[in-house]
Amino acid sequence: MSVVLLSTDLLIFSILIIAIAFFSVMLFAFRLKGEELIYEKISKYHHIMVYEEGSIRTLRLGSGHDDGKQSRIDLNDPDYLLLEYTRLIFAALFVNDKPFKVLIIGLGGGALPRAISRYIPDAQIDVVDIDPDVVEVAERFFMFTPGKLIKIHIGDGRSFIQNRAHDTSGKRYDMVILDAFNSNSIPVHLITKEFLKEVIQVLDTKGVVAANVLIDNRLFHSMLKTYRRVFKRCYLFMGGIAQNAVFISPAPDAPDIVKKGIEERAHALQELYHFSFSMLSVARQFRPRYAPKISAKILTDIKDS
């Protein structure tokens, strides 16, 4: 009799273990399927993927699901900037709080031009992206709409800046945003000292440059040193959630950003623009003492320099 009971208990225990294992596998599979791939295309420049989970859509440009998020939108609240770096970009307003001529290199899902247009309705925005398929995806999946004040230019960002530098109309930008990525890296011709000197040529003397960079990039310290060599000033706003940071580089006649008083400036900007995010949180991510490694090299167009 005891042998029969032992066998029954063993059977029940075995069934229980199998059930737990099956449930764990199904739960893991469910988590993997949390984001559904709703669009995919290999363009001339990118492997474009759009994922959706509930009301959240994510744009990735790369080789798979683990690639970084180039853009993200909540369809139920499309104006809120979900990605931290897009909020940090607005630290540029600590330098120039009324940018009416804006240049953005790199469209992604169009979150930045859409947000700037919302908060500064009179801003004239030029957006440059090398990939027309990315522009199509931004319009189709991410609620981005070009218009009279938001103009899209298809082409290489550096070539656009070089052409604009020689434009006799004399148009200069109050703000230049550098946000061009190829998968998880910035194209190398958009991080050199020669390129940054070209950016200065299209920047108003009281303007500001804001650049999205990756903290874990092996060239991060070299990029910071290069920005400081060219612009003389480059302030760092460090991401706390993702591996992004934002460089803020004022033009020669633009004011400094100083730790003392930055929170008061954040409150003033919040009152002026009524952001849906906290400018105070942006201010608190300012890292005034951050310095590049001594061993970091200045980045140039010339290889091995």
Give the predicted TM-score (pTM) of the model: 0.87
- Per run of 10 residues, the mean pLDDT along the chain (length 305 residues) is 47 47 40 79 95 97 67 95 97 97 97 97 97 98 96 97 86 95 86 98 97 93 98 96 92 96 97 97 96 96 73
Q: For the chain, give me the number of helices (H) and strands (E)?
A: 9, 11
Q: Is 9 left (phi over 0), alpha (psi -120 to 50) or beta?
A: alpha
| Residue 170 CA to its chain's centroid (Å) | 29
- Angle CA(75)–CA(107)–CA(174) in degrees, nearest 5? 115
CATH code, 84-283: 3.40.50.150
Tell me what pLDDT residue 63 has.
57
Contact by Cβ (8 Å): 108, 259: no
Tell me what pLDDT residue 3 has.
44
Tokens of 91: 């630290």
CA nearest to 41, candidates 55, 54, 66, 59:
59
Tokens of 291: 């310095």
Question: What is the rounded distance in angstroms from the CA atom of residue 1 to the CA atom of residue 177?
Answer: 80
Tell me what pLDDT residue 2 has.
43
Domain locations in the chain as residue ranges? 36-74, 84-283
Specify the 3-state DSSP secondary structure of 137. Answer: helix
Q: What is the largest CA-CA distance in the chain?
A: 101
Specify the 3-state DSSP secondary structure of 79. Answer: coil
Tell me what pLDDT residue 169 has.
75
